[in-house]
């Protein structure tokens, strides 16, 4: 089924987006068995839906989903950080559409028994997709609530049988200045790189996303494959991944290279640890009412019960 949806994407116009209203209506219709019966991405969400990105079959994982109003599809796909396409929030939506996401390969290397270069289809094939509603808190003090479609990163990593020396996992975004005009400028050292400690990477909340709002990821959100780590600031969620490397040493990360005093390796959402230039105690929920009133930021972005034990005994002011 994936082969078809990614083939389809090549021929579809990404300007024809699906409004969340259609998505919500479809959700109301497709509950439980009905949703499963439509498995395979064969069914169009609605005759009224504009032709858009392909539908993905994914059952909602209620255990890992936040019960909060969703940010609109329009906001999630028009207010982006993807510096490879410029530094303006609307640059990625305008400039990422020409990114070719098929064919796409991912190189697996480092401290693993099985390394190699795998096609996106190889990477995705064994993994049933889930929908998970996660809060995303950007280090810039705005937040969204996003219905991702993806699967646990741990399930993928285990397939390559990490050795006992695999203490960290490093991720790399595509580097291709021809396709990514922002890479012709020196805002960051390209390619964008990120990393997690192996226990963070293996945590059940850590997701590899391939879609949102029940459809294939728009390019500006990191197609065809991006990381989502909901208890960390958004910059850890590296987009358009082409390489995953298992390492013994802590890998370099783009924002830490650019400004080590401002962006640490861990980047756990923490209202008690200010950014040197602003407080992190509150956030603006994008699209939430006329004035987008701020709300308090929660430790670990509200996921403390699940992830605080990973950092037991660590000074989170030092390891920010």
Report the C-alpha gap between 60 and 44 in whole angstroms. Answer: 18
Q: Does 237 bind ligand MTE (CB under 6 A)?
A: yes
Q: Are 265 and 272 in contact (CB under 8 A)?
A: no
The DSSP string of 69-124 is PPPPHHHHHHS---GGG-SSTTHHHHHSTT---SS-EEEEEESBSS-EEEEHHHHH
Give the nearest residue (CB) to ligand MTE.
234
Report the C-alpha gap between 288 and 72 in whole angstroms. Answer: 10
Q: Does 91 bind ligand MTE (CB under 6 A)?
A: no
Binding segment for ligand MTE (CB under 6 A), chosen from 37-45, 74-82, 126-134, 272-280, is 74-82
* Residue-wise burial string across 142-179, b where 16 or more C-beta atoms lie within 10 A, e elsewhere: bbbbbbbbbbbbbebbebbebeeebebbbbbbbeeeeb
Number of residues that bind ligand MTE (CB under 6 A): 17
Q: Is the peptide bond before 313 cis (omega within 30 degrees of 0)?
A: no
Binding segment for ligand MTE (CB under 6 A), chosen from 123-131, 234-242, 274-282, 301-309, is 234-242
Which one among 45, 53, 70, 84 touches ligand MTE, defined by CB under 6 A? 84
Which one among 2, 6, 73, 82 touches ligand MTE, defined by CB under 6 A? 82
CB of 234 to ligand MTE, least distance (A): 3
Q: Does 234 bind ligand MTE (CB under 6 A)?
A: yes
Report the C-alpha gap between 153 and 208 in whole angstroms. Answer: 5
Q: Are 106 and 244 in contact (CB under 8 A)?
A: yes
Binding segment for ligand MTE (CB under 6 A), chosen from 26-34, 82-90, 93-101, 120-128, is 82-90
Report the C-alpha gap between 112 and 157 in whole angstroms. Answer: 9
CB of 241 to ligand MTE, least distance (A): 8
Nearest CA among 273, 254, 213, 220 for reference residue 19:
213
Nearer to ligand MTE, 35 or 236 (CB): 236
Binding segment for ligand MTE (CB under 6 A), chosen from 150-158, 198-206, 230-238, 245-253, is 230-238
CB of 151 to ligand MTE, least distance (A): 18
Q: Does 80 bind ligand MTE (CB under 6 A)?
A: yes
Nearer to ligand MTE, 38 or 65 (CB): 65
Q: Are 291 and 307 in contact (CB under 8 A)?
A: no
Pair type for strands 105-110 and 241-247: parallel
Report the C-alpha gap between 307 and 231 in whole angstroms. Answer: 8
Fill in the per-residue mask, 137 to 176: x = in contact with ligand MTE (CB under 6 A), - = not in contact.
-x----------------------------------x---
Which one among 99, 238, 267, 307 touches ligand MTE, defined by CB under 6 A? 238
Which one among 192, 231, 266, 300 touches ligand MTE, defined by CB under 6 A? 192
Nearer to ligand MTE, 160 or 255 (CB): 255
Interface ranges with ligand MTE (CB under 6 A): 80-84, 136, 138, 173, 192, 221-222, 234-235, 237-240
């Amino acid at each position: 089924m994936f082969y078809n949806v990614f083939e389809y994407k090549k021929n579809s116009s990404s300007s024809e987006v699906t409004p969340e209203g259609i998505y919500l209506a479809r959700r109301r219709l497709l509950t439980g068995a009905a949703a499963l019966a439509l498995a395979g991405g064969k069914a169009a969400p609605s005759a009224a839906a504009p032709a858009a990105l392909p539908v993905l079959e994914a059952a909602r994982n209620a255990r890992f989903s936040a019960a909060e109003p969703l940010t609109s599809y329009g906001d999630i796909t028009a207010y982006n950080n993807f510096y490879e396409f410029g530094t303006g929030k609307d640059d990625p939506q305008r400039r990422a559409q020409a990114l070719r996401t098929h064919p796409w390969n991912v190189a697996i290397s480092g401290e693993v028994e099985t390394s190699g270069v795998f096609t996106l289809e190889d990477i995705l094939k064994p993994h049933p997709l889930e929908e998970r509603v996660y809060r995303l808190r950007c280090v810039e003090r705005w937040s969204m609530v996003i219905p991702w479609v993806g699967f646990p990163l741990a399930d993928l990593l285990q397939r390559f049988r990490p050795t006992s020396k695999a203490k960290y996992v490093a991720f790399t975004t595509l580097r291709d200045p021809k396709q990514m005009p922002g890479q012709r400028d020196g805002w960051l050292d390209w390619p964008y790189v990120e990393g997690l400690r192996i226990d963070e990477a293996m945590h059940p909340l850590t997701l590899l996303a391939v879609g949102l709002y029940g459809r294939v990821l728009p390019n500006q959100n990191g197609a065809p494959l991006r990381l989502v780590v909901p208890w960390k600031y958004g910059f850890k969620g590296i987009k358009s991944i082409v390489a995953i490397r298992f390492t013994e040493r802590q890998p370099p990360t783009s924002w830490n290279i650019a400004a080590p005093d401002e962006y640490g390796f861990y980047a756990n959402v923490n209202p008690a640890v200010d950014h040197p230039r602003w407080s992190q105690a509150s956030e603006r929920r994008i699209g939430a009412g006329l004035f987008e009133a701020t709300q308090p930021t929660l430790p670990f972005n509200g996921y403390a019960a699940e992830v605080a034990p990973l950092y037991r005994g660590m000074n989170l002011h030092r390891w920010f």
